[in-house]
Amino acid sequence: MAEAVFHAPKRKRRVYETYESPLPIPFGQDHGPLKEFKIFRAEMINNNVIVRNAEDIEQLYGKGYFGKGILSRSRPSFTISDPKLVAKWKDMKTNMPIITSKRYQHSVEWAAELMRRQGQDESTVRRILKDYTKPLEHPPVKRNEEAQVHDKLNSGMVSNMEGTAGGERPSVRGLHHEDGSQHIGLLHPGDRGPDHEYVLVEEAECAMSEREAAPNEELVQRNRLICRRNPYRIFEYLQLSLEEAFFLVYALGCLSIYYEKEPLTIVKLWKAFTVVQPTFRTTYMAYHYFRSKGWVPKVGLKYGTDLLLYRKGPPFYHASYSVIIELVDDHFEGSLRRPLSWKSLAALSRVSVNVSKELMLCYLIKPSTMTDKEMESPECMKRIKVQEVILSRWVSSRERSDQDDL
C-alpha cells in the first residue's frame, strides 16, 4: 500500500530505570477516587513553569517523564557530591554527599555573604555559622533500622542516613533569595529538610589529634570524613515546558499552576501561554495528540525539529520519530511555521536517518469555519484533525538492496 509501515522502536541496550506508570495519576484505586488523587503544584516564575516540591518532582518525572531538572540533563539528579571522592570512599556506603573541604568552605563563605547582605553584622554571622557548621558526631538518624555506624574512622562518625522521605517544601525562614533557581538552605537547627542537609567533608587530619592506625585506611595522606551541616544548599527544581504543563492541567487535571499564590484557570493558562509563546497552540495540539496515543513527546531541539517521540520514555527506547508540526486550514493550505524548502527538508531527512529516527510531518487541520473566538479555548481541539506523514528518502540505485520496501 501507499502507507508507511510502522517500525517498532529500538530498545536501548542498557536500561537503568524501572518503569512505573505512564501517567502521574492513580490507576485503579480501590477506595473512593477522590481520596488519593493528588494535585501537584507548580508555579509560574519568569514565564516558566517550575515545580519545587521534591515529591511532586519525583512523581512527575517518574511517571511519564514530564519536565527536566534545571541542573541536570534530563532527570533531576543534581548532587554536589564530588564523583572522585565518592569513588574513593565507596566503602563507606553512605547516602550523604561527599565534598572536599575547599568546597565546604565555599559554601560557608556564600552563606556568610548572604547573611551579610541581609543586614546581619559580622559577629552574628560568624557565631551562627560556627554553631551551624560544627562537626556532628551522631547525626540524627530517622526511623532507619539499617543504620550502620562505621567505626573505622575516628571522630566524625558517619551513619547511613536513609534517604529522606520528607515531602515538605524546603522552608526558608527569613532568608529568601529572589532568584528562583537557588535557595538558601540555612535552616534552623533541628529542621529536617530534604537531602543535602548533611554532607561529608573530607578533611585532612590535624596533627594534634590521635592517630589511630586504621588497618583499612589505604590512603597515604590521612583523610577523614566529617559530617557537617551544609549551610548553603542548592535545590534542584523541575521545569516543565508549557505544553507539558498545560497537558497536566487540562488533560489529566493533576496539576495546579500558581502565579503569586493564585491558582490559574485553564482558559487563563491557554491565553497566557500563547502570549509567552506565540505558536503555543499549535505545538500543544500536537503534543496532546501524541500523548493521547501513549507516546512520550520531548523537545526536538537537538535534531532541528519540534518534537521527538519516545515509546514509554527516554530511558527505555531510542526516539522513534522526529516531528515537524504545521497548522493548515480546511483547504490544506496555510502559512508554515517554518519556511520549508527542499534543501532544508533534505537536510532534516538526512539528519534523522543518521540518528535512526523517522521524519514525520504532523499537519493539524483547522476547519475554516473555526472562529478566533473558538480558538480562545482548548475545546477547539475537538474539531481539529491530525494528518501524519512520514518523509523518507528513496534510493534508486541497486545498492538499496538492504532497504526494505518503499
Partner 1 sequence: MEPEPEPAAVEVPAGRVLRGSLVAAEWRPEEGFVELKSPAGKFWQTMGFSEQGRQRLHPEEALYLLECGSIHLFHQDLPLSIQEAYQLLLTDHTVTFLQYQVFSHLKRLGYVVRRFQPSSVLSPYERQLNLDASVQHLEDGDGKRKRSSSSPRSINKKAKALDNSLQPKSLAASSPPPCSQPSQCPEEKPQESSPMKGPGGPFQLLGSLGPSPGPAREGVGCSWESGRAENGVTGAGKRRWNFEQISFPNMASDSRHTLLRAPAPELLPANVAGRETDAESWCQKLNQRKEKLSRREREHHAEAAQFQEDVNADPEVQRCSSWREYKELLQRRQVQRSQRRAPHLWGQPVTPLLSPGQASSPGTPSACHIFEGHWQLRNHRTLERAWMNWDGLRLKEDVGGGSGPTSTVSSPAAAAGPVWEGLEMYLVFCVLVAVVLQHISVLQTTHLPDGGARLLEKSGGLEIIFDVYQADAVATFRKNNPGKPYARMCISGFDEPVPDLCSLKRLSYQSGDVPLIFALVDHGDISFYSFRDFTLPQDVGH
Among the listed residues 250, 283, 298, 308, the single contact to partner 1 using CB under 8 A: 250
324 Cβ contact partners less than 8 Å away, ≥ 6 residues apart: 305, 306, 338, 340, 348, 359, 360, 361, 362
Among the listed residues 173, 331, 354, 369, the single contact to partner 1 using CB under 8 A: 331
Catalytic, out of 68, 288, 357, 366: 357
* Ramachandran area for residue 30 (φ above 0: left; ψ -120 to 50: alpha; else beta): alpha
Among the listed residues 228, 291, 298, 357, the single contact to partner 1 using CB under 8 A: 291
Residue 373 or 382 with smaller CB distance to partner 1: 382
- Which residues from 342-401 bind partner 1, rule CB under 8 A? 342-343, 345-346, 349, 360-361, 363-365, 377-379, 381-382, 384-398
For residue 253, the minimal CB distance to partner 1 (Å) is 3
Q: Is 318 a catalytic residue?
A: yes
The residue behind cell 565546604 is 104
Residue 92 or 365 with smaller CB distance to partner 1: 365
For residue 69, the minimal CB distance to partner 1 (Å) is 23
Angle between helices 266-276 and 280-291 (to 10 degrees): 120
Backbone φ and ψ of 378, nearest 5°: -65, -10
For residue 311, the minimal CB distance to partner 1 (Å) is 6
Among the listed residues 328, 353, 370, 375, the single contact to partner 1 using CB under 8 A: 328
- Which residues from 183-222 bind partner 1, rule CB under 8 A? none
* DSSP state for residue 159 in the 8-state scheme: B
371 Cβ contact partners less than 8 Å away, ≥ 6 residues apart: none
Among the listed residues 13, 16, 28, 261, the single contact to partner 1 using CB under 8 A: 28
Residue 1 or 165 with smaller CB distance to partner 1: 1
- Which residues from 33-92 bind partner 1, rule CB under 8 A? 33-34, 37, 39
| Cα-trace Rg, the chain | 27
Say if residue 350 is exposed, middle or buried (CB neighbours under 10 Å; 0-12, 13-18, 19+).
Answer: exposed
For residue 371, the minimal CB distance to partner 1 (Å) is 16
Secondary structure in 3-state letters for 80-123? CCCHHHHHHCHHHCCCCCEEEHHHHHHHHHHHHHHHHHHCCCHH
Choose one: 30-38, 89-97, 165-173, 204-212; the region binding partner 1 (CB under 8 A). 30-38
Query: Which cell numbers hold the place of 210?
Result: 590521635
The residue behind cell 556564600 is 110
Among the listed residues 187, 326, 352, 357, the single contact to partner 1 using CB under 8 A: 326
Q: Which residues of 361-379 are buried (b: 16+ CB within 10 A; e: fewer)?
A: bbbbbbeeeeeeeebeebe
Among the listed residues 12, 29, 211, 279, the single contact to partner 1 using CB under 8 A: 29
Count of positions on this chain that bind partner 1 (CB under 8 A): 86
Catalytic, out of 310, 317, 321, 363: 310
Choose one: 77-85, 104-112, 121-129, 283-291; the region binding partner 1 (CB under 8 A). 283-291
Instruction: Tell me the C-alpha distance between 385 and 387, whole Å.
Output: 7
For residue 81, the minimal CB distance to partner 1 (Å) is 28
Candidates 242, 250, 244; CA nearest to 278 is 242
The C-alpha torsion from 265 through 266 and 272 to 275, rounded to 10°, is -170
For residue 14, the minimal CB distance to partner 1 (Å) is 18
Among the listed residues 10, 12, 21, 122, the single contact to partner 1 using CB under 8 A: 21
> Could you tell me how many residues make up the chain?
406
* DSSP state for residue 151 in the 8-state scheme: -
Instruction: Tell me the C-alpha distance between 113 and 25, whole Å.
Output: 43
Q: Is 357 a catalytic residue?
A: yes
For residue 293, the minimal CB distance to partner 1 (Å) is 5
The CA angle 211-216-222, to the nearest 5 degrees, is 40
Question: What's the N-to-C CA distance of the chain in angstroms?
Answer: 9
Q: Is 7 a catalytic residue?
A: no
Choose one: 212-220, 275-283, 299-307, 327-335; the region binding partner 1 (CB under 8 A). 327-335
Residue 153 or 380 with smaller CB distance to partner 1: 380
Residue 83 or 339 with smaller CB distance to partner 1: 339
For residue 167, the minimal CB distance to partner 1 (Å) is 17
* DSSP state for residue 247 in the 8-state scheme: I
The residues carrying an active-site annotation are: 310, 318, 357
